[in-house]
Amino acid sequence: MNANTLFLRLEGPLQAWGNQESKFVVRRTSEAPTKSGVIGMLCAALGVSRREAPDTWLPRLNSLRVGVRIDRPGVRWWDYHTVGARYGNPTAEGKIKKTAKTGRIETLVTRREYLCDASFLVSLQGDSGLIDQLADALRNPKWTLYLGRKCCPPSRPLLPPLEQRDHPEQPGDFPDLLSALKSVPWRKRLKYDAEPAEGKVDCLLDWVPTNEQPEAPPDALVWYDVPRTFDPPSHDARFVIHTQLRVGPDGEVTIDKRPAQSLTPRPPRPRANYRNAEYRKARAERLDADHHLCVFCKSPATTVQHVTYRRAGGSESQDDLRALCRLCHDAVTMIEYGLGMGLDRIDPCDPDFRDRIIKKRAEIVQFRSLETRRRRLSPEEV
């Protein structure tokens, strides 16, 4: 096949694409994958080490033109990560820093920024021999691939499987980066995901000089992310053009209505066997231990709540049960159904649920008294 364009789908719970501002103690992420991050990933797929890359592969990989479509921008999030533990941080003089008080090797805490739940469509354009070689390497990577930082594994294969020949993200032949990015429909990840804000997606495209346009346009951005060496990391600059594509029925990018993923089904809930002798014993013990009073409102308890159904059917421990009055039990059950809870249910002693249970109880009381009043009224008064 003669393809000049390779598509990569970069999607995962976390991604982090460091730039020149991501050094030392505070390590931020760019809004989109960087050229050095993507090329580093290609080197990992090829099994090319940081040391050998500059002499063997970097000149070829840097010649690739990179376009990114931001299908889901994701949410920014911070975490921390310690460095230097056990090995120590060297000072300018080459000594190992030690804590003044204890004389122990010092550990630094670094702050790290991530993009959560982002999805990027990356297109790489270059000569077809190189594109074929990279597609093979990404399908059978030598080393682990990750989305910018080692703790960020991809949640989907970067390339669609070979058998899915009609998949729009298979390598193809396109006149330029933008037409390649337009050719792939936008897709929801899960069925209830929102469509892009204002019906647009952002795109970031490599700008390369041509005879007609030898100078970069004035609004071009400068990204310092063309890798010169990986060890130590050093970068050259490139120009990046920001543009937007309209998404929708009359947009430049169509929408594929089928969601890309479906939710993992919940584990089946074991049915509580209320006739079981062991359960009846556990239930009676729980009521005794709670003095036959509702643990929530201290009215006389007539029911027992399952905090978890993990051991339901006779193997319940006392911790799995709570004595409740009928009203509190109804309120808790209604909240549980509203939240679609599975095996683990509400613990009425959990202060996080206190306000919700009080509110739901009040709703039930109001509804019931209305019903009672209606029943007492004559038909013409209703």
Binding site for Zn ion (CB under 5 A): 294, 296-297, 299, 325, 328
**Shortest Å distance, C-beta 68 to Zn ion:** 56
Are 53 and 62 in contact by the 8 Å Cβ rule? The answer is: no
Are 286 and 294 in contact by the 8 Å Cβ rule? The answer is: no
Give the integer Cα–Cα distance in Å for 189 and 169. 15
Closest by CA to 307, choosing from 196, 290, 379, 214, is 290
Alpha helix segments (H runs only) across the chain: 35-46, 53-56, 58-62, 128-139, 177-183, 277-289, 326-339, 354-376
**Shortest Å distance, C-beta 318 to Zn ion:** 19
Burial tier of 162 (Cβ tally within 10 Å: 0-12, 13-18, 19+): exposed
- Shorter beta-carbon distance to Zn ion: residue 137 or 325: 325
- Shorter beta-carbon distance to Zn ion: residue 241 or 297: 297
**Shortest Å distance, C-beta 378 to Zn ion:** 34
Residue 156 identity (one-letter amino acid): R
Q: What is the DSSP letter of 381?
A: G
- Shorter beta-carbon distance to Zn ion: residue 32 or 323: 323
- Shorter beta-carbon distance to Zn ion: residue 22 or 305: 305
Closest by CA to 29, choosing from 78, 81, 83, is 78
**Shortest Å distance, C-beta 365 to Zn ion:** 12
Side by side, the strands of the sheet bearing 119-125 are 5-11, 119-125, 65-72, 200-207, 233-246, 221-230
- Shorter beta-carbon distance to Zn ion: residue 240 or 294: 294
Closest by CA to 30, choosing from 328, 281, 243, 240, is 240
Q: What is the largest CA-CA distance in the chain?
A: 94
- Shorter beta-carbon distance to Zn ion: residue 115 or 325: 325
- Shorter beta-carbon distance to Zn ion: residue 240 or 325: 325
Report CA Rg, the chain: 30
**Shortest Å distance, C-beta 299 to Zn ion:** 5
**Shortest Å distance, C-beta 368 to Zn ion:** 14
**Shortest Å distance, C-beta 325 to Zn ion:** 3
